[in-house]
Amino acid sequence: MAEQESIVPVAAIVCFLLGVTTLILLNRSKNRIWMDKLAGLMLGWCLIFFGLRYAAATIQETGWVDIMYANESSDLGVFQYLYYSFTIAAFAILALFPLVYPYPVLQKESSIKLVGPITFVLGLVIVITMMLTDYKYNTFWQVLTIPCFIISIPVYFRFLSEEMVNNDETARRMSLAAGIILVAFFGSQMTWWLAQLISINDEFIGRFAIEEGVKSHSYLPNLIGDTVVNTLGSISILCLVAGETWRANKKGVSSFTIVIFLILLVGIISGIADIAVLDIVESCMVTECETFPASYAIWYKFTTEALLLLFTPLMVMYILLHFDVIDTEAENNQWMTRIIVILMLLIVSSTMIELLQSFLPVSQMVSSAILAMVVAIFIGWEERIMSSLIGEGESVSKKLKSLGELHETNISDEELQIFSKLMGVLTTIIIILCWLYSSIVR
Amino acid sequence: MSSSGDFRDILSNMTSSKEGNRFTLISFVAVIIMLSYTGYDTVVYRAEVISSFAEENEYTISFSIQNETMQLVETLQDDETRNVIFELSDIVVPEGFSIGLIEVTITSEEEEGVSVQCDSVAGDIIENDLTAQWNDTTNDLSGQDSSCAPIELNLRVYPDFTGETVTVSAINEFQAVQKWTETGWGDGDLSIDLDLDVNSPLGFDPVGQDTDEEITVDVTVVLFSLSIQQV
C-alpha cells in the first residue's frame, strides 16, 4: 500500500482559486440585488481565507519550516499562527453569513453597511485574543456556527412546508439553499452524528486532548465549542433527513435527498466504526496511546476529510452558480465560469482517484485511464453539467422579493465593496501580526 | 411589495409557516436534550478525566529482591586460562520477576607450597549473546587478585536497575511501570574466563607442589519484582 498523501494542498488550491474567481466574477456581475452581492463577497473571502489557512498548513507539513527556524524554541511558528488566524477570519465571516443568506435577517441599510466592519472587528478581536492566549481556546470559537443553525433550520422547514403543504414549487430553492448551507457548515460533524447521539465523541475528544499534551491547554471553553458544534451538526443532519424523507414521499427523490441519505449512511458506518475502536481510544487513558487501524484512517479520509476539504468548496460553488449569486448569463462571465466549474470538478475527481490509488493495488496506467475517462465525461457532458448548475438557477433573492420579504435598499456597489476592502486590510494585518508576534515569542 | 426591513417583520415572516414552526421547535428541543447529556459527558465528566492527565502523576516504584545462586569449582593449572559457562536458563524465574543484575565472586584459597603464597587469579566476564547492559559504566567485567581476596564482578542486566526505589512521573500507572516490564533481558549464558598464574616465593618452589589452584566461582542472579504507589 502506498503512503497516504495529504489532501490539504489540493484544498488550498481549490479554495483559493474558487475564492479569487468568485470575487472577479462578482465584480463583473452588474445589477445584482444587494443580498446576492454581499453573500458573494462573503463566500469569496471566506474561501480565500480557507485557501490561505490550508496553504499555511501545507507549508507546515512540508517540514522546511523546521529547517528555516532550526533554533526556534516555541512550538508556534509563523505558519502555525497564520493557520489559526486565517481560520478565525473565515469563521468570523461564517458567523455573520447566515444573517445575510439565504434569508437576510439584516435588511436595514444601516445594518447591511455594518456587516463589513463587524466582521472585521470580530475577526481582529478573536485573532488577537487567541494569539495572546497562545491559542489555548482554539476550538471554542466554533460556537460562531450557532447563528447558522438558528437561522437556517427555520428557513429550511418553513419553505419545505410551503412546498409540501401549499404546493409552492418555487419554495424549494429556499429550502435547498438553507439545506446546502447547513451541510457546508456542519458537513464533517454530520458524519459523526451517531457517535454524538450515543455520546461517545467525548471519548475521542479526551484521547486527542491527551495525545496533544493537555498540560498547556485550558479545556472547558474548547470542550464547550466541540460539544456545541457536534450537537448542531448531528441535529442538522437528522432534521435534513426528516425533511427530505417527507419531500421524497411526495415529490420523489432529488439529488440533494441522495446526498443527505449518503451522509446519514456515512454517519451510521462511522458510528459503528467508532464503537469498534473505543478500546484503542481509551488506551490513552488506561495504558498508552495505540494507533488506529489503517482501514479506519482511510475511511475517515474518504468521508469526513474529503467532505470537509474537497466537497465543501464544491457546495459553495453550487450555491454561487445555481442560486445566481454571480451573473452567469453575462457574456464576459460565461467562459470563466465554465473553466472554473470543469477545473474544480477535475481537481476533486483526480484527487479522489489518487487517494484510491494510495490503498488499492491499481497501477498508474489504470488510474491514468480512469482519469482520462473522467476528463472525457466532463468534456462530453460539459453542456449538461453547466445547464444543471446554471440553467435551472433561480435566485433566492428574487424569490424573497416576490414574497415581499426582501427590503429594497439604495445601497450602492461601492458601499458593499467596503467589505472587500476591509477583508483585504484584515489579511494584511493578520500577516504582519503573525510574522511580528511569532518572531518576538520565538 | 417590499419588506420594511424591520426586524420584527422579518422574524414573523420567517416563522409564518405553522408546520415549519412545529419542525423547528422539535429541532430546537432536540438540540437542548442532546446538548444536555453530551454536554454533561464532555464538559463535566470528560473534563475531569482529561484534567487528571493535565499534570503527570508521581509514582514510587520499589523492588522486591530475590537471589538465585549458582556455584562452580574449577581446578586450574599454572598459566592456564579456562572458560566456564553458567546457563541462566537453569534458573527458575518466578512469575512477575525479571533478572536485574548478575554478581560474580571468584575465590581462591592457597593451601599448597612451602610459603603458601597467594597465586595470581584473574576473572573476566566475556561479552556474548547474553542480553544485558554490556556498555553500562557501572559494570565490573574484569578483575584480578594475588592476595587471596575474592574478586567481585558484576554485570547489569536490566536497564538502570540498581535495586533502589525510584520515583517516576507518568500519566498513568501503566506508563509508570512500562520501563520495568520489558521482557527478554537475561536471555543467554554467562561466560567467564578464569586465569591462573601460580606465585612462588622469589619464584622458587623447591618441592614443586604448587602447580595448580582450586578456584570457586559463585554467581548470584538478582531477580526483582516491583510494586508501585502513587505519591
Three-class SS of A313-382: HHHHHHHHHHCCCCCCCCHHHHHHHHHHHHHHHHHHHHHHHHHHHHHCCCCHHHHHHHHHHHHHHHHHCH
End-of-domain residue from the set B20, B36, B51:
B51
Spatial distance between the Cα atoms of A165 and A162, rounded to a whole number of angstroms:
5
Report how far apart the first and last C-alpha atoms of chain B are (Å, whole number). Answer: 76
Q: Which residues contact A406 (CB under 8 A, 6 or more apart)?
A: A33, A35, A104, A107, A397, A400, B2, B3
Q: Chain-centre distance of CA A293, in angstroms?
A: 27
Spatial distance between the Cα atoms of A2 and A75, rounded to a whole number of angstroms:
30
* pLDDT in the model for residue B106: 92
Residues B26 and B111 in one domain: no
Cβ of residue B169 closer than 8 Å to a chain A Cβ: no
Q: Is residue B200 domain-resident?
A: yes
Nearest to A199 among B14, B27, B41 (CB): B41
**CA nearest to A139, candidates A58, A48, A45, A218:** A218
Q: Number of helices and strands (H, E) in chain B?
A: 4, 9
Q: Count how many Cα atoms sit within 13 Å of the Cα of residue A417 in the half-sphere of its side chain.
A: 9
Spatial distance between the Cα atoms of A233 and A266, rounded to a whole number of angstroms:
14
Higher pLDDT, A342 or B116: A342
Q: Mutating which of A111, A156, A227 best tests the B interface, going by the most B Cβ atoms within 10 A?
A: A227
Q: List the grid coordinates of A260.
A: 443527505
Residues B28 and B70 in one domain: no
**Cβ–Cβ gap B20/A202 under 8 Å:** no
Q: Are residues A63 and A345 in contact, defined by beta-carbon separation less than 8 angstroms?
A: no
Residues 113-142, chain B, touching A (beta carbon < 8 A): none
**Cβ–Cβ gap B174/A202 under 8 Å:** no
* pLDDT in the model for residue A1: 44
Q: Are residues A177 and A401 in contact, defined by beta-carbon separation less than 8 angstroms?
A: no
Q: Is residue B2 domain-resident?
A: no
Nearest to B43 among A105, A158, A223 (CB): A223
Q: Where would I find the beta strands (DSSP E) of A135-195? A: none
Spatial distance between the Cα atoms of A9 and A243, rounded to a whole number of angstroms:
36
Task: State the pLDDT confidence band at B48, using cuts at 50, 70 and 90.
Answer: confident
Q: Is residue B125 domain-resident?
A: yes
Q: B19: which chain A residues are within 8 Å (Cβ-Cβ)?
A: 157, 161, 164-165
Q: Does residue B126 surpass a pLDDT of 60?
A: yes
**CA nearest to A80, candidates A91, A66, A90, A70:** A66
Q: What is the mean pLDDT of residues B107-133?
A: 80
Cβ of residue B27 closer than 8 Å to a chain A Cβ: yes
Q: Is residue B118 domain-resident?
A: yes
For residue B57, what are the β-bridge partners? B170
Residues B33 and B75 in one domain: no
**Cβ–Cβ gap B23/A219 under 8 Å:** no
**Cβ–Cβ gap A201/B171 under 8 Å:** no
Q: A152: which chain B residues are within 8 Å (Cβ-Cβ)?
A: none
By CB atoms closer than 10 A (0-12, 13-18, 19+), residue A365 is exposed
* pLDDT in the model for residue A277: 93
Cβ of residue B32 closer than 8 Å to a chain A Cβ: no
**Closest chain B residue to the Cα of A150, Cα to Cα:** B28
**CA nearest to B4, candidates A405, A111, A113, A104:** A405
Spatial distance between the Cα atoms of A78 and A58, rounded to a whole number of angstroms:
13
**How many structural domains is chain B composed of?**
2
Spatial distance between the Cα atoms of A308 and B65, rounded to a whole number of angstroms:
58
**Closest chain B residue to the Cα of A239, Cα to Cα:** B27
Residues B80 and B183 in one domain: yes
From residue A188, give the alpha-carbon distance in Å to each of A18, A203, A303.
Answer: 20, 17, 8
**Closest chain A residue to the Cα of B12, Cα to Cα:** A405
The single-letter code of the amino acid at B26 is I
Spatial distance between the Cα atoms of A310 and A206, rounded to a whole number of angstroms:
28
Spatial distance between the Cα atoms of B27 and A161, rounded to a whole number of angstroms:
15
Cβ of residue A289 closer than 8 Å to a chain B Cβ: no
Residues B84 and B111 in one domain: yes
Q: Is residue B96 domain-resident?
A: yes
Cβ of residue A157 closer than 8 Å to a chain B Cβ: yes
Nearest to B42 among A165, A217, A227 (CB): A227
Distance from CA of A182 to the nearest CA of B (A): 14
Spatial distance between the Cα atoms of A204 and B189, rounded to a whole number of angstroms:
48
Q: A153: which chain B residues are within 8 Å (Cβ-Cβ)?
A: 24, 27-28
User: In what helix (H) or strand (E) does residue B36 lie, and over which residues does it extend?
Assistant: helix B18-39
By CB atoms closer than 10 A (0-12, 13-18, 19+), residue A37 is buried
Q: B34: which chain A residues are within 8 Å (Cβ-Cβ)?
A: 196-197, 231, 234-235
For residue A206, what are the β-bridge partners? none
- Can you give the pLDDT of all 442 residues of chain A as single tens digits? 445 567 888 889 989 999 999 999 888 887 788 999 999 999 999 999 999 999 999 888 776 666 555 555 555 688 889 999 999 999 999 999 999 989 999 888 889 999 999 999 999 999 999 998 888 888 888 999 999 999 999 999 999 999 999 888 889 999 999 999 999 999 999 999 999 999 998 888 888 877 776 554 557 888 899 999 999 999 999 999 999 999 999 999 999 999 999 999 999 999 999 999 999 988 887 787 888 998 888 888 888 888 888 888 888 888 888 888 888 777 777 788 888 888 888 888 888 887 777 777 777 788 788 888 888 888 888 777 777 777 655 788 888 988 888 888 888 888 889 999 999 999 999 999 999 988 887 6
- Which CATH number fits the domain that encloses residue B179? 2.60.120.380
* pLDDT in the model for residue A2: 46
Nearest to A227 among B28, B43, B171 (CB): B43
**Cβ–Cβ gap B35/A227 under 8 Å:** yes
Domain, as residue range, for B30: 7-51
Residues B182 and B208 in one domain: yes
Nearest to A108 among B5, B38, B45 (CB): B5
* pLDDT in the model for residue A341: 83
Residues B41 and B143 in one domain: no
Q: Which residues contact B110 (CB under 8 A, 6 or more apart)?
A: B116, B117, B118, B119, B148, B210, B213
Q: Mutating which of B13, B45, B50, B56 best tests the A interface, going by the most A Cβ atoms within 10 A?
A: B50
Complex confidence, ipTM: 0.88
Residues B29 and B100 in one domain: no
Q: Chain-centre distance of CA B161, in angstroms?
A: 6
Residues B94 and B198 in one domain: yes
Report how far apart the first and last C-alpha atoms of chain A are (Å, whole number). Answer: 39
Question: Residues B130, B131, B136, B142: what is their CA dihedral angle, to the nearest 10 degrees?
Answer: -10
Residues B44 and B117 in one domain: no
Nearest to B17 among A108, A158, A201 (CB): A158
Q: What is the mean pLDDT of residues B156-182?
A: 87
C-alpha gyration radius of chain B: 37
For residue B122, what are the β-bridge partners? B144, B195
Residue that the C-alpha cell 470537509 belongs to: A308
Q: B181: which chain A residues are within 8 Å (Cβ-Cβ)?
A: none
Q: B174: which chain A residues are within 8 Å (Cβ-Cβ)?
A: 286-288
The single-letter code of the amino acid at A254 is S
Q: Would the pTM count as exceeding 0.95?
A: no
Q: In the A/B pair of chains, how many CB contacts fall below 8 A? A: 144
Nearest to B42 among A158, A202, A234 (CB): A202
Q: Is residue B1 domain-resident?
A: no
Cβ of residue B41 closer than 8 Å to a chain A Cβ: yes
Q: Mutating which of A158, A222, A406 best tests the B interface, going by the most B Cβ atoms within 10 A?
A: A158
Nearest to B3 among A154, A215, A406 (CB): A406
Residues B165 and B200 in one domain: yes
* pLDDT in the model for residue A3: 52
**CA nearest to A271, candidates A341, A371, A200, A352:** A200
Residues B225 and B138 in one domain: yes
**Cβ–Cβ gap A287/B20 under 8 Å:** no
Distance from CA of A126 to the nearest CA of B (A): 22
